[in-house]
Chain A
């Protein structure tokens, strides 16, 4: 307590000891990057370092109740000491912390209006997994799937493509946020799907005679026994208004039974007349959500290609599908196209992306996040979450109180992960950019964050085993394909 009182006193004394005693108090909050003003944060998050734009000598007073400390900066970069930050957040759980910025100006000091951060009661998962890749058109070089500790800044590789001749690695997916049960695909050389279950690593070639492609967009069943996938005949082209347009010429949804090593599906989501994609299991595993649109000549009719959001029941005991498809979002009536449906772990909310048309919204500036309350079927407004730039991929934390999503809002090109709080009733807090130790981190980073997913703990280093399996061609195929009537 004594320490904090001294810290406050020191802040006040120092603030008054500049070139003159003048303290100007403009009625504005400071311009800081990243914009952490009035965000909601978990108590176990790493320090939210920021810089005061255009400032040189700066002081930041962090305050909650009787706890406070000051960070001094000579260049406007506010680098928060981890220990003090942790103590502050621990004390302020469920409350707001206040930050006051003073900037030295010619005639003395300028003290901005304080801003706050709401500290949520619910923690966020320990790690965030993502792929880092250049936002290019068709080429790639080095890429990898990484994990970042959210309580500090440690970033380690889950798998880097330098292990396997710079092939493409993509679509990492975890069962209930557990990195011990995960999968990802390898494309180009050593192609196959890597399944990790505990210490067991397998690489499967998942292309069958009955499916148009290897398995693509995944979603784990909560039991860990099944994974729903799409199979897609995807192409990409240059586009009149987007940088790149990715679209499907054909697609279906299937479920892979890991125990029987069998692909099962139903004509309801495996039809030549429709494009079905982006499957997603509900939290209880009894419902399979997916996006679907009527097949039409592509790319000529691309602008009128819009995907509905549908659901289908699924019985995990026997791996059978229901017989009726429900439509949650009717694209023909509502005029937009759905992608990336994701159900919250408590089963109450469904988060998805809406864009003007097409299947792959990551290059669509108009793409925004939307959420449905599955109990009331009502839309929950997410205006505080979206921006003028693309918001696309998103996922839930294991406790259902945090979402992470990709957004290009910083510069319109490079996707960055933003984290937002979701309350019990579905109210969403102002999102915050994944914090970094260095405030210019994102300026230097020439790669985009792709498929951000929360994971409950650190993934083990299985790079050697994966490389061995992939390069030794111990690749197995699904043994059967079963199309229900």
Chain B
């Protein structure tokens, strides 16, 4: 029996780790960047000095290591296994056999559902484990009077450490007492009464803001409305306890025959397999591709972004990241229309106030060189971060403030990052730029972005994006990002007058030495019958010949009912197609 339990446990551990590493890897990376864990006493006091604060502190401590490959899956597997062991311990106290392993695993498996919710906080998992440890301690006290005393003491401790999950401790302990031999109902009443008094006091002191917050899992969600899935582990846990009692009082089930074969083990592992299967088939593929792309964006893996991009599953933010990757590779001006943009929003989407949008737009504008806008989104994202600060956005704020020469603010943020575990070295590396303009301008990234600010110097944040891009393009000729975006924006806007104006001012200068393919295609539409103009503005023979072919094809198929599809098959990646067919 002992070996079978060990085997089951090992199989579960391996399966949980593997499943999470495959399904949740990018989720872990995403969650890590949304918090700022500081190794300082005041941070510890600040986080723990509230209801549920200890669980929050432990969770934040653990989440910071999600940055390391495999650590997210390892840590969460460890937490889930610890829960499983506690559940098993509680069940075993009722002297049940290992064949009821599956009952213990069900509440745990529901946490897998929560794990992939971006609004769920690991605090909920840690809090649940704290509650289970408390309940385990409680049920292993045999003498009822001592057990009652133990429960009465544990209740406020668990409440303070873990938050509203303590309600499960109260209900669990009460169920336990109800299943006891005598006067169970009397004991069962004690803890609920005590908890009611604690909530009442908390409400009076303003520690809690409502009854519902004290008994529902809203603390573990960064959302005003908690999804139904948040209740599943709680309900499953209570059902587990009820089933445990059912087994205990049903002699026919209490002593089942144990078949030591693979079939029996398979039955025990069935809930886990079912959960894996369900999660695999109900994956939120859009969200998953977003957080995966976000990881590539953070790591500047431009090829991966382009390679994994799926036109049909992408929203504007994702297409904007794709276009950033293309621009970083210098291909935006050649390949933009190959990915079916849906207007300007595909290139530079509107900010929708969400954290995800803030992070992405900050990266895009930083890449372009619009530092003020990148800083704005970094700051707004930082303010609205789940855990009250984002390490990724704080890094961005260090960079933008260094570029602006706001050294005192940059120093403040560096100071904070130096008190983290995994960003200390990066922060210390940035310290050398503080109050050292000469060194900063030599840096290939910060220096070139600082140089782009030199222009007229009168923009911090401009609401007219083309004006900002033009200023950046003109004043940072060595950085073609702004130029690529500006010309792409003109093309997407079908603003041929602005395109012509810019072309005639800057083509052939260091600002715009060479036209991309799409820009050449646009030049042809400015002067359709003027090959001299084409030549003067760098249109290649290949592009002009293709233009002729396009016109001829269009004339021929103009009467077709499916003319758009017909033309798209050969010219869907051209500006001409976009100009004519994309409304």
The interface of chain A, by Cβ under 8 A from chain B, is 134, 136-142, 157, 162-165, 237-243, 410-414, 438, 440-441, 443-444, 446, 461, 463-464, 467
Q: Are B409 and A413 in contact (CB under 8 A)?
A: yes
**What's the minimum C-beta distance from B489 to chain A, rounded to whole angstroms?**
18
Q: Are A239 and B460 in contact (CB under 8 A)?
A: yes
Residues of the A chain whose Cβ atoms lie less than 8 Å from the Cβ of B408? 410-413
B299 within 8 A of A: no
Q: Are A243 and B383 in contact (CB under 8 A)?
A: no
Give A467 to B204 CA distance when docked, in angstroms.
11
Contact pattern, B 214-232, Cβ under 8 Å of A = 1, otherwise 0:
0000000000100000000
10 A-B pairs besides A241-B458, A461-B205 with CB distance below 8 A are A139-B384, A165-B224, A240-B458, A240-B460, A243-B460, A412-B406, A440-B415, A443-B416, A446-B388, A464-B206
A-B contact pairs, 24 of them (CB 8 A): A134-B379, A134-B383, A136-B383, A139-B353, A139-B383, A139-B384, A141-B383, A141-B388, A163-B206, A163-B209, A164-B209, A237-B463, A240-B458, A411-B411, A411-B412, A413-B406, A413-B408, A441-B42, A444-B42, A444-B43, A446-B388, A461-B205, A464-B204, A467-B209
Residues of the A chain whose Cβ atoms lie less than 8 Å from the Cβ of B38? 444
Give A412 to B405 CA distance when docked, in angstroms.
11
Q: Are A162 and B463 in contact (CB under 8 A)?
A: no
Q: Specify the chain A residue showing the minimal Cβ separation from B375.
A: A243
**What's the minimum C-beta distance from A469 to chain B, rounded to whole angstroms?**
14
Residues of the B chain whose Cβ atoms lie less than 8 Å from the Cβ of A141? 383-385, 388
Give A141 to B380 CA distance when docked, in angstroms.
10
B462 within 8 A of A: yes
Q: Specify the chain B residue showing the minimal Cβ separation from A143.
A: B383
Residues of the A chain whose Cβ atoms lie less than 8 Å from the Cβ of B205? 461
Give A243 to B406 CA distance when docked, in angstroms.
13
Give A315 to B549 CA distance when docked, in angstroms.
85
Q: Specify the chain B residue showing the minimal Cβ separation from A162.
A: B209
Residues of the A chain whose Cβ atoms lie less than 8 Å from the Cβ of B384? 139, 141
Q: Are B380 and A138 in contact (CB under 8 A)?
A: yes
Residues of the A chain whose Cβ atoms lie less than 8 Å from the Cβ of B40? 444
B459 within 8 A of A: yes
Residues of the A chain whose Cβ atoms lie less than 8 Å from the Cβ of B416? 443-444
Q: Are B460 and A242 in contact (CB under 8 A)?
A: yes
Q: Specify the chain B residue showing the minimal Cβ separation from A189.
A: B224
Residues of the A chain whose Cβ atoms lie less than 8 Å from the Cβ of B406? 411-413
Residues of the B chain whose Cβ atoms lie less than 8 Å from the Cβ of A164? 209
Q: Specify the chain B residue showing the minimal Cβ separation from A163.
A: B209
Q: Specify the chain B residue showing the minimal Cβ separation from A462.
A: B206
**What's the minimum C-beta distance from B392 to chain A, rounded to whole angstroms?**
15
Contact partner of A243 (CB less than 8 A), chosen from B206, B461, B462, is: B461
Q: Are A411 and B388 in contact (CB under 8 A)?
A: no
Residues of the A chain whose Cβ atoms lie less than 8 Å from the Cβ of B463? 237-238
Q: Specify the chain B residue showing the minimal Cβ separation from A413.
A: B409
B98-141 at interface with A (beta carbon < 8 Å):
none
B355-405 at interface with A (beta carbon < 8 Å):
372, 376, 379-380, 382-385, 388-389
B203 within 8 A of A: yes
**What's the minimum C-beta distance from B259 to chain A, rounded to whole angstroms?**
54
**What's the minimum C-beta distance from B81 to chain A, rounded to whole angstroms?**
34
Q: Specify the chain A residue showing the minimal Cβ separation from B207.
A: A463
Q: Are A139 and B388 in contact (CB under 8 A)?
A: no
The 9 closest A-B CB pairs, nearest first, are A238-B461, A411-B408, A463-B206, A134-B383, A136-B383, A163-B209, A413-B409, A139-B380, A411-B409
Residues of the A chain whose Cβ atoms lie less than 8 Å from the Cβ of B412? 411, 414, 443
Q: Specify the chain B residue showing the minimal Cβ separation from A140.
A: B383
Most chain A CB within 10 A, of B203, B382, B416, B461, is at B461
Residues of the A chain whose Cβ atoms lie less than 8 Å from the Cβ of B43? 444
**What's the minimum C-beta distance from A148 to chain B, rounded to whole angstroms?**
16
Give A414 to B376 CA distance when docked, in angstroms.
15
Residues of the A chain whose Cβ atoms lie less than 8 Å from the Cβ of B42? 438, 441, 444
Give A162 to B412 CA distance when docked, in angstroms.
27
- Per DSSP, chain A at the interface is loop
Q: Are A136 and B379 in contact (CB under 8 A)?
A: yes
Q: Are A142 and B388 in contact (CB under 8 A)?
A: yes
**What's the minimum C-beta distance from B107 to chain A, rounded to whole angstroms?**
29
**What's the minimum C-beta distance from A218 to chain B, rounded to whole angstroms?**
24
Q: Are A238 and B462 in contact (CB under 8 A)?
A: yes
**What's the minimum C-beta distance from A273 to chain B, rounded to whole angstroms?**
28
Q: Specify the chain A residue showing the minimal Cβ separation from B224.
A: A165
Residues of the B chain whose Cβ atoms lie less than 8 Å from the Cβ of A444? 38, 40, 42-43, 416
Residues of the A chain whose Cβ atoms lie less than 8 Å from the Cβ of B388? 141-142, 446
In the complex with contacts A136-B379, A238-B376, A239-B460, A443-B415 CB distance below 8 A: yes
**What's the minimum C-beta distance from A460 to chain B, rounded to whole angstroms?**
11
Residues of the B chain whose Cβ atoms lie less than 8 Å from the Cβ of A241? 458, 460
Q: Are B380 and A412 in contact (CB under 8 A)?
A: no
**What's the minimum C-beta distance from B411 to chain A, rounded to whole angstroms?**
8
Contact partner of A136 (CB less than 8 A), chosen from B206, B380, B389, is: B380
**What's the minimum C-beta distance from A154 to chain B, rounded to whole angstroms?**
13
**What's the minimum C-beta distance from A471 to chain B, rounded to whole angstroms?**
8
Contact pattern, B 29-44, Cβ under 8 Å of A = 1, otherwise 0:
0000000001010110
Contact partner of B376 (CB less than 8 A), chosen from A137, A162, A165, is: A137
**What's the minimum C-beta distance from B478 to chain A, rounded to whole angstroms?**
25
Residues of the A chain whose Cβ atoms lie less than 8 Å from the Cβ of B459? 240
Most chain A CB within 10 A, of B38, B204, B205, B206, is at B206
Q: Are A137 and B380 in contact (CB under 8 A)?
A: yes
In the complex with contacts A137-B379, A463-B206, A239-B415 CB distance below 8 A: no
Q: Specify the chain A residue showing the minimal Cβ separation from B379.
A: A136
Give A164 to B376 CA distance when docked, in angstroms.
27
Give A136 to B397 CA distance when docked, in angstroms.
13
Residues of the B chain whose Cβ atoms lie less than 8 Å from the Cβ of A440? 415
Most chain B CB within 10 A, of A165, A238, A441, is at A238
Give A142 to B43 CA distance when docked, in angstroms.
16
Q: Specify the chain A residue showing the minimal Cβ separation from B385.
A: A141
Contact partner of B461 (CB less than 8 A), chosen from A239, A438, A446, A464, is: A239
Residues of the A chain whose Cβ atoms lie less than 8 Å from the Cβ of B462? 238, 240
Give A242 to B460 CA distance when docked, in angstroms.
7
Residues of the B chain whose Cβ atoms lie less than 8 Å from the Cβ of A441? 42
Residues of the B chain whose Cβ atoms lie less than 8 Å from the Cβ of A165? 224
**What's the minimum C-beta distance from A422 to chain B, rounded to whole angstroms?**
29
Give A139 to B376 CA distance when docked, in angstroms.
11
Q: Specify the chain A residue showing the minimal Cβ separation from B411.
A: A411
Give A140 to B406 CA distance when docked, in angstroms.
23
Residues of the B chain whose Cβ atoms lie less than 8 Å from the Cβ of A443? 412, 415-416
**What's the minimum C-beta distance from B434 to chain A, rounded to whole angstroms?**
12
Residues of the A chain whose Cβ atoms lie less than 8 Å from the Cβ of B206? 157, 163, 461, 463-464
Give A446 to B204 CA distance when docked, in angstroms.
29
Give A240 to B380 CA distance when docked, in angstroms.
19
**What's the minimum C-beta distance from B450 to chain A, rounded to whole angstroms?**
17
Residues of the A chain whose Cβ atoms lie less than 8 Å from the Cβ of B461? 238-239, 243
**What's the minimum C-beta distance from B89 to chain A, rounded to whole angstroms?**
36
Give A157 to B50 CA distance when docked, in angstroms.
13
Most chain A CB within 10 A, of B42, B204, B224, B463, is at B42
Q: Specify the chain B residue showing the minimal Cβ separation from A240.
A: B458
Give A137 to B389 CA distance when docked, in angstroms.
16
Q: Specify the chain B residue showing the minimal Cβ separation from A165.
A: B224
Residues of the A chain whose Cβ atoms lie less than 8 Å from the Cβ of B224? 165
Give A238 to B458 CA distance when docked, in angstroms.
12
**What's the minimum C-beta distance from A241 to chain B, rounded to whole angstroms?**
6
Residues of the B chain whose Cβ atoms lie less than 8 Å from the Cβ of A136? 379-380, 383
Q: Specify the chain A residue showing the minimal Cβ separation from B355.
A: A139
Residues of the A chain whose Cβ atoms lie less than 8 Å from the Cβ of B389? 446
**What's the minimum C-beta distance from B204 to chain A, rounded to whole angstroms?**
6
Contact pattern, B 446-488, Cβ under 8 Å of A = 1, otherwise 0:
0000000000001111110000000000000000000000000
Give A238 to B380 CA distance when docked, in angstroms.
14
Give A301 to B73 CA distance when docked, in angstroms.
58
Q: Specify the chain B residue showing the minimal Cβ separation from A138.
A: B380
**What's the minimum C-beta distance from A256 to chain B, rounded to whole angstroms?**
28
In the complex with contacts A238-B461, A240-B462, A243-B460, A412-B409 CB distance below 8 A: yes
